[in-house]
Structure 1
Amino acid sequence: MVFRYGRLTRSGGLDPRALTFAVLDLETTGLDPKRGARVCEVAVVRMRGDGTVLDEYSTLVDPGVPIPNAELHGITDTWVKGAPSFAQIAGDLLACLDGAIVVGHKLDFEEGFLAAEFARLGTPLSGIPGLCTLVAARTHLDRYGYRLPHLHHLLTGRWPTAEHSALGDARSLAALLTELVGAAPQPLYWDGPPPSALPQLPRTRLIAPRAAGLRKGSEGWLATLTARLPLMADAPPPRRSGLDDYQAMLAHALADGRVVGEEAEQLALLAARAGLTQETARGVHGEFLLRARDRAEADGVVTAAELRELQRAAKNLAVGHLISDLEEAAAAERARRSGPLKGWRLLPVGEGEQLAEVMDYAVDHGAAVAVNVTKTVRLVIAAEGVETPKTAQARQRGVPVLTPEEARKLLTAEVERHQREEALVADDRAEEVAARIAAEQASDKGAEVPEWHGFWRPRELTAAEYRARFVDRFADEPEPVFTPSSASAAGAAARNSGGCAGVLVLFTALVGAADTVAGLVG
């Protein structure tokens, strides 16, 4: 057996919040590895039991055989073209599982495929600590509908995304485990073998992550594509050949300023062939936008039309921070033009520091500068003692002519008047009141009892009860086992049974009670 199964129990053990778990999901070409079915996608989410995600890993796997069941998971022969084989990713997968309790929903399914794949490599696995969340859910929750999507929705209030992709399902299961461990009505403990070191195989760091379940959403296709890729702690560099194709397709998709669904799917396929992760995809998207920005700034000026084009690209690429300075400058210019002196057209006459200062003040608050006396000029500001034909013409037309000092007083008064009018509806206590109400609402939410607590069993099922409800009724199904953490007769019984999701084995030694009946099924 690949796994030695433990359990989450209310009767004492290790605090699972401090333990490391490796949440595993596989997509396969069929249901039975003994009939030739192979792994075609694998994902692992490494996390602590408190919900802290430590690392993610995901890749398509070339199974070496045709894929007959693409309608179940969306993986076709085209998708796995150029993907690494299981032999090439075996070392990386073992590194992801090393030193952790491996978690799966009906973990015996993953167990059968791991046993077959590693046996082909001459590296049989055994004794890895395992937790089946199907067993845990049935043991503690009295609510039929134990499939992963239904349990995820019950415990988190959200339906999972990217279903039937290895990473999507692993993330859903990680969220489910976090809620079960952290928010159960009664404390749960880990009762099973501790994490242990696994065999080491050469690591290639070859990956072909699949971005599945794409949706445009509120942030756009490429933001979803990036989010569906694994967030790896140590991401390998993209493969150059695949990256060139991805960048070419990206340019094509953004040529008209928007990305459509078909283009997003094509980009997802090319992202897999380039080996992109969240980190490297964001880097590629950022480089793309920076090249476009360089072209816009080449003449020293970014026009309004160029800024709009950059903004569309930044929104599609989800890298708006790379042009935030341009947007802030444009916003400041718009605010200046809409300032309290908007509509004031001023004509400066002469030179001098005072004149320059008052004109700068006026322009900063929205005034425009004239060069001649026209009917739109509202004020002429002449340096002290300066008289020109322009000042004479202004007086003839009834346009005020003021010194810089007089003009500064007039303009300051106008700005202050405008600011007082804006403040008429303001209230200094507004932010304080809003923060207090938000805190009260958060307190109300915090006091709510999660709906799923209503399905919490008064006591966890005994082994006999579990067997009667979930095993004996389906006696013709394979019977996975729960393996006690200590060596005993129960361990011998476990070794004579099959995997995690349907069978029980004695765990008398594990629970330490003379009257404990045969062990837990998954």
Structure 2
Amino acid sequence: MSSVGLFAFGSAGGSGGVDLGEAPFVVVDVETTGLSSRSDRIVEIALVRVEGGRVVDEWATLVDAGRDPGPTFVHHITADMLSGAPTFADVAGDILSRLDGAVAVAHNARFEEGFIAQEFARAGIDTAPLPAVCTLRLARQVLAAPNFQLVSCCAAYGIELHDAHTALGDTRATAQLLTRLLADAPALRFPSAPVPLPRYPRHARPRTRVTGLRKGTDGWIQSLLGKLPYSTSDADPASAEAYLAAVGDALSDGKLTGVEAKALARLAGQSGMGAQQVRDLHHRYLDGLRDAALADDILTSTEYQQLVTAARLLGEPDYFADLTAPEAETTHRTRAVKQKGQRVWCSPSVSADARDRLTRAGFVLASNLTRNVVAAVVTAADRDDAKVARARELAIPIRSDLALDDILGTTATPSPAPHQPGATGVGAEQDESRDEPTPAAAVPVPTPRRPQVVAGWYLDPSGRWTYRFWDGTGWTERASAGDGRTWSDSTGLPLWCAPTTDGLVDGQQPHTLTDQITTMQKTDLHAALLLTVRCIDAVENDARVKGHGVAPWYYERAAIILARLGDPAAEVAVLERFARQRHAPGATPARLLERLRHRQATAHA
């Protein structure tokens, strides 16, 4: 493909051509090793999608050009930054999918057109011309300015150009300029409508970068997040763990220095993370601190201050707004015996009478929301309360104070502890000396029992197959992928659990076991996997009965564990299992489906 003809430019005010109406725009910018599209190469590319005048997606990556990066003093890209970055062919699939069905936009678009056309040609990609807009040409029709460089056009509209000569910074500014120009220019008409672009696999993750990090008034982390694209694909487990460890090291002294912030920025960029992926990891880190502080349901003033400080340093000053600060200046834990009984949290607006009814029934009123709280009791006035929102995030059942019978109909006394791997057998006698209750809101508390499950095919607790045959007393070697064929498979794992046929795991709600799974991961990945798969069975059973979407946390955790075990086929299988379910609302389902697409593309590459 020649460097001419990739873009079919639209014109303002013409009578011929096609009016594309509400077609989305994708603003593109490249940083290159030089000015010649034939002899120079792209070293960075960014794409920003604009719909209805609003930015809805950002994507950017460094590109290994296979040669020196050129004028580093202009774009600040060094050879070291490009080492390990994807080639253009590696990410061509991402670029095509983002341009598909959209109008391409660039400032001085002939420059971008020439370089992208040459890179497509090198990768063997041929495509029909893309409808395009050049904001420089459009500005000449609309603006009266001394010149029409991007910085001058932005200045004419009062648009701040941050991070000039970075692909993402320039695309962000051009996206704002485009919206202003379209408002002032006659209607655009194009030679042709968008045509479907070829599908091309993605062979590598993007690599992002952060430049010009400044503490400013908002702090280091807000600066870091603002210089990354909104979102990329989910970080791989190893990179996520490395980043979390670096966060822990950086905040261990209760401070975050510029050197530490820049180290975090480098890690995020090398892992190809966007702002949302970094923010999600920060939430994971803060949730871990929270769980550790509230493990015994006692929050000291020292712990509370540590939580608040960590949240502030990570740019989330209100993250622990739902916690009740200690009234006294306690710095150590009391030795009081933990109260027995299921724990229920009540919002401040719940009446004293309702609280009395709960305590008389044997429930313990929790001061803060933790994963071992079986229900959150709220009033109609609490819909937008921060703590109620936190309860939803933790998947804690929310109950109205006008429907306490849903909770009081259960027994709140402690239940037997669940079996652990290595127990003498399914249904073995429980240790009655344990103080830990088994939360189970709105369902009768089970008594110790030997599971009486009829023989048949059930979901495989090992995670290796879709189904495994239970003979009525134990798991067999017969397994199936769900395609009608059966195989003989000895897992070598202690399949100590019986099939899960309801929404519980040994009488416990799955959300109360997340801490146990996370802890198990550190010492026994196989045991953590077994428990996670049982939780998946439980949430699917519960979803079928109640007609709601499944909680994605368990599938994501299983995928992470399987990735650590080096079993990509099983990882894809558990993600495909998630894809077949009805999904709960939120950002995680889309992230998991993107992870599935990435793993499938990797497997077929």
The TM-score with structure 2 as length reference comes to 0.51
8 Å Cα contact 1:223-1:316 kept in structure 2? no
Q: Which whole-Å CA distance do the structure 1 matches of 2:263 and 2:272 have between them? A: 14
What residue number does 1:24 align with?
28
Rate the CA distance shift 1:191–1:126 in 2: closer, same or farther, 3 A. closer
Structure 1 unmatched ranges of 5 or more: 335-356, 358-522
Corresponding residue for residue 180 of structure 2: 179
In the TM superposition, what is the alpha-carbon distance from 1:84 to its structure 2 partner?
1.2
1:131 is paired with a residue whose SS is strand
How far 1:12 sits from its partner (Å)? 8.5
**Counterpart-to-counterpart distance in 2, 1:227 and 1:210:** 11
Question: Which residue is equivalent to 1:142?
Answer: 144
The answer for the alignment partner of 1:92 in structure 2 is 94
Matched, 1:251 2:248: yes
* Contact residue 60 and residue 210 of structure 1 kept, 8 A: yes
The equivalent residue for 1:307 is: 304
Q: Equivalences for 1:3-14 in 2 at 5 Å?
A: 3-9=7-13
Indicate yes or no: 2:208 matched with 1:209: yes
2:223 alignment partner AA: T
Aligned pair in 2 of structure 1 residues 65, 242: CA closer, same or farther (>3 Å)? Answer: farther
The SS at the match of 1:323 is coil
For residues 82 and 24 of structure 2, the distance between their equivalents in structure 1, rounded to whole angstroms, comes to 31
The Cα shift of 1:13 comes to 7.3
Residues 394-405 of structure 1 aligned to structure 2 (within 5 Å): none
| Residue identity matched to 1:330 | A
Q: TM-score scaled to structure 1, two decimals?
A: 0.58
SS at match of 2:45: strand
Is the CA contact (8 Å cut-off) linking 1:7 and 1:132 kept in structure 2? no
The alignment yields a C-alpha RMSD, in angstroms, of 2.5
Alignment partner for residue 77 of structure 1, among 70, 79, 94? 79
CA deviation profile, 1:42-84 (whole Å, cap 9, x unmatched): 1111112x31223221111111112232221121122222221
Residue in 2 that maps onto 1:361: none
User: In structure 1, what is the Cα distance between the partners aligned to 2:81 and 2:262?
Assistant: 11
Kept in 2: contact 1:129–1:193 (CA 8 A): yes
Q: 1:119 aligns with which of 104, 111, 121?
A: 121
Equivalent residue letter for 1:293: R
**For residues 270 and 152 of structure 1, what CA distance do their matches in structure 2 show?**
32
- The match for 1:43 among 39, 42, 46 is 46
> Structure 2 vs 1, CA of residues 279 and 91 (structure 1 numbering), >3 Å: closer, same or farther?
same
Q: CA shift at 1:242, angstroms?
A: 3.1
1:417 is aligned to none
Q: CA 1:166/1:99 → structure 2, altered by over 3 Å: closer, same or farther?
A: same
SS at match of 2:320: helix
SS at match of 1:40: strand
Q: How far 1:275 sits from its partner (Å)?
A: 1.8
Residues in 1 aligned to 2:250 and 2:73: alpha-carbon distance in whole angstroms = 27
SS of residue paired to 1:33: coil
Residues 413-470 of structure 1 show CA distances to partners (whole Å, capped at 9, x for unaligned) of: xxxxxxxxxxxxxxxxxxxxxxxxxxxxxxxxxxxxxxxxxxxxxxxxxxxxxxxxxx
Percent of aligned pairs sharing the same letter = 39
User: Is 1:283 equivalent to 2:280 in the alignment?
Assistant: yes
Q: Residue 270 of structure 1 is aligned with which of 267, 272, 291?
A: 267
- Mark the CA change 1:153 to 1:15 in structure 2 (over 3 Å): closer, same or farther: farther
SS of 1:54 mapped into structure 2: strand
Q: Determine helix, strand or coil for the equivalent of 2:94.
A: helix
Deviation at 1:300, TM superposition (A): 3.0
Answer yes or no: is 1:220 the counterpart of 2:219.
yes
Higher Cα Rg, which structure: 1
Match of 1:330 among 320, 325, 328: 325
Separation in structure 1 between the aligned mates of residue 106 and residue 247 of structure 2, nearest angstrom: 36
1:189 Cα offset (Å): 3.0
> Matched residues in 1 for 2:259 and 2:294: separation?
32
Question: For residue 255 of structure 1, what is the amino acid of its counterpart?
Answer: S
SS, match of residue 47 in structure 2 = strand
- Give the Cα–Cα distance (whole angstroms) in 1 for the partners of residues 99 and 305 of structure 2: 47
- Counterpart of 2:325 in structure 1: which amino acid? A
